[in-house]
C-alpha cells in the first residue's frame, strides 16, 4: 500500500471515528429511554427486546471503534437481561438495580476511548 493510500485510509477511519463519537450521546439517550420504557412494564416482551437490541448494537459498535469499557458494560447488561428475555419472565429487582448502575457508568464513559479510561 502506498503512503498516499495509507493517508487516505487513515483520514477515512478518522472521519468514521469522529462521526461515531458524535452519535454516542444520541445512542445513549435511546438506550436510557428504552430502559425507562422497559421499567414501566417488565413483562412486556417488546420493551425488553428493544432495550436488549440497543445494548447489543452498542456493544458491537463500541468494540469496533475502540470503546472497550463501554462494550464490556453492555455485555454485562446483556447477561443480566438474558434470563428474563429467554424465559419471558420479569427481571429480578437485583438485576434491575445492577443495570441502573451499569447505565450510569456507561453514561459517564460514553465518549471515552479505551486508552483514556483508567484500569
Fold of 25-113: 1.20.120
Residue 111, pLDDT score: 64
13 falls in which pLDDT band (50, 70, 90)? Answer: confident
Nearest to 105 by CA among 32, 26, 49: 32
In whole angstroms, give the CA distance from residue 55 to residue 53. Answer: 5
Kindly list the domain boundaries of the chain, sorted by start residue: 25-113
**Does 18 score more than 60 pLDDT?**
yes
112 pLDDT higher than 80: no
More confident: 24 or 76: 76
Q: Band of the pLDDT at 119, cuts 50, 70, 90? A: very low
Its pTM stands at 0.84
Other CB atoms within 10 Å distance of the CB of residue 23:
11
Cell numbers for 112: 471515552
The string of pLDDT tens digits covering residues 37-61 is 999 998 888 999 999 999 999 999 9
Q: What is the mean pLDDT of residues 90-118?
A: 81
Q: What single string gives the DSSP state of each residue in 43-106?
A: T-HHHHHHHHHHHHHHHHHHHHTT-HHHHHHHHHHHHHHHHHHHHT-PPPHHHHHHHHHHHHHH
**pLDDT, tens digit, for every residue of 21-36?**
888 889 999 999 999 9
pLDDT of residue 113: 60
Cell triple for 99: 443495570
Amino acid at each position: 500500500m502506498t503512503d498516499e493510500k495509507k493517508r487516505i485510509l487513515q483520514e477515512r477511519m478518522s472521519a468514521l471515528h469522529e462521526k461515531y463519537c458524535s452519535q454516542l450521546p444520541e445512542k445513549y439517550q435511546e438506550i436510557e429511554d428504552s430502559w425507562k420504557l422497559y421499567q414501566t412494564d417488565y413483562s412486556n416482551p417488546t420493551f425488553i427486546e428493544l432495550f436488549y437490541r440497543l445494548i447489543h448494537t452498542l456493544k458491537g459498535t463500541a468494540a469496533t471503534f475502540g470503546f472497550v469499557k463501554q462494550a464490556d458494560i453492555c455485555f454485562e447488561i446483556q447477561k443480566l437481561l438474558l434470563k428474563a428475555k429467554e424465559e419471558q419472565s420479569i427481571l429480578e429487582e437485583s438485576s434491575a438495580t445492577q443495570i441502573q448502575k451499569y447505565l450510569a457508568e456507561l453514561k459517564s464513559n460514553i465518549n471515552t476511548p479505551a486508552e483514556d479510561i483508567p484500569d
